[in-house]
Structures are given as C-alpha cells and as structure tokens.
C-alpha cells in the first residue's frame, strides 16, 4: 500500500477523532485544509487552542464560561429568573434549551447522570455544588430536564428529595422526549412542550 506523508496520515487520524467523521470525510477535510489558504487552518488551530485554554465551567452552574472561575453569560445576566432552575446533564443540554427560547431561568449542569452499572455515583456529579447553591440562593422551582430513561429516572429520584428539603418545588419535563435519549435528540418544539407541560414530582 502507498505510504502518504506522516503528517497527512496524522491529520486524517486527528480529524477522525471527531464525532460523525468517518475515514472518507476525514480525508476530505484534510485535503480541504491542505488546499485552502494557510489562514484557514491557522484560524482553526488557534480557535482550538484558545477554546481549550479559555473556556472553563461556570463557577455557579457548570455551563461554559470564558475564563477560569468566571460566571457564564446566563448566570451573569440579571434579566434571568433566579427563582427557576433547570437541572441538566450536560453543558450541551443548556445550548439546546437556550436555542429553544422557552426557558428564562438559571441552569445547573450535573456533568452526567447516576449510573450504578457504569459506576457513576453522586460524588461524580456536581451535586455537592448544587447543595451549596441551594443554601446560598435557592430557587422556588427546579425543573429536572434529564433523559427519559432508567438512569435519568434514577437521577431524578435522587435529586428530588434534596431539592424538596431545601423548600424547592420539583418538576420533571413532560413526556414527549424521545425514550432512551437525552435532550440532544429533541427538537425545539418538543422541548418547548416538554417544558410547559412539566409535571411536579
């Protein structure tokens, strides 16, 4: 088999690490970058370096924030309703919910969900951080926007008493979310229905 330059093979290999990039599209992207003006790949390289260096979890909610120990743009926005929280698994869920435009409160990003099989326990999620937040500035209501599967249910059942003991009304997203999937599989309209039709726990 023909050997290509090592740097080319490495570039294709690096691109293949990305989700939904198979061998063919990795090769296509690599060829594009090699043929495009140098500024294109320089921009990509510096954006990657800057994103890794500058983006940190928000010190309050865990979403992406610019700079270490900073607040994200949602937590820093005084227009947001601090009395309403949405508890989500991943930072990507926040992006999804923000795009749906239905939610005007604050978030709490858990960083995953409880999964005894995968040995993910409460200490692996940002639950202790949530409890600190509950002491400092508890909301009136918290919506648990967790996946509609067994692990999402387990996580909801674990979180509900903690929130209720802090005097918080707890609700879960209404049905309509795809079974077994996280929020990333729901479209904006479905998410909007799920939010407005949430049920109290």
> Which residues would be at the binding site for Zn ion (CB under 5 A)?
58, 60-61, 63, 72, 75
Instruction: Give me the least distance between CB of 91 and Zn ion, in Å please.
Output: 10
Closest distance between Zn ion and the C-beta of residue 69, in Å? 12
58, 71 in Cβ contact below 8 A? yes
Q: How far is CA 91 from CA 10, 153, 162, in A?
A: 30, 19, 22
Nearest residue (CB) to Zn ion, 69 versus 123? 69
Q: Identify the helix (H) or strand (E) that includes residue 23.
A: helix 23-35
Minimum CB distance to Zn ion smaller for 60 or for 171: 60
Nearer to Zn ion, 63 or 193 (CB): 63
Q: Are 115 and 155 in contact (CB under 8 A)?
A: no
Q: Which is nearer to Zn ion, 72 or 114 (CB)?
A: 72
Compute the least distance from the CB of residue 76 to Zn ion, in Å.
7
- CA dist 197 → 26, 95, 121, 128, 178 (Å): 42, 20, 29, 29, 15
**Which residue in this structure is represented by tokens 């983006």?**
55
- In the bound complex, what is the minimum distance in angstroms from residue 63's beta carbon to Zn ion? 5
CA distance 62 to 189: 25
Least distance in angstroms from the C-beta of 72 to Zn ion = 3
- Residue closer to Zn ion (CB basis): 12 or 168: 168
């Amino acid at each position: 088999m023909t050997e290509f330059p090592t740097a080319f093979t490495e570039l294709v290999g690096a691109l293949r690490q990305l989700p939904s990039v198979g061998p063919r599209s990795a090769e296509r992207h690599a060829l594009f970058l090699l043929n495009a003006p140098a500024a294109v790949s320089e921009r990509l390289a510096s954006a990657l370096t800057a994103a890794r260096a500058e983006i940190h979890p928000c010190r309050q909610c865990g979403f992406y924030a610019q700079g270490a120990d900073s607040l994200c743009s949602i937590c820093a926005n005084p227009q947001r309703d601090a009395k309403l929280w949405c508890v989500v698994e991943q930072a990507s869920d926040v992006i999804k919910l923000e795009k749906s435009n239905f939610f005007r409160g604050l978030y709490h990003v858990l960083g995953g969900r409880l999964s005894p099989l995968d040995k993910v326990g409460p200490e692996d999620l940002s639950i202790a951080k949530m409890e600190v937040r509950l002491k400092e500035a508890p909301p009136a209501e918290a919506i648990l926007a967790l996946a509609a599967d067994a692990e999402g249910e387990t996580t909801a059942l674990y979180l509900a008493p903690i929130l209720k003991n802090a005097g918080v009304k707890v609700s879960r997203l209404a049905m309509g979310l795809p079974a077994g999937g996280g929020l990333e599989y729901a479209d904006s309209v479905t998410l909007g229905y799920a939010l407005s039709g949430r049920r109290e726990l």
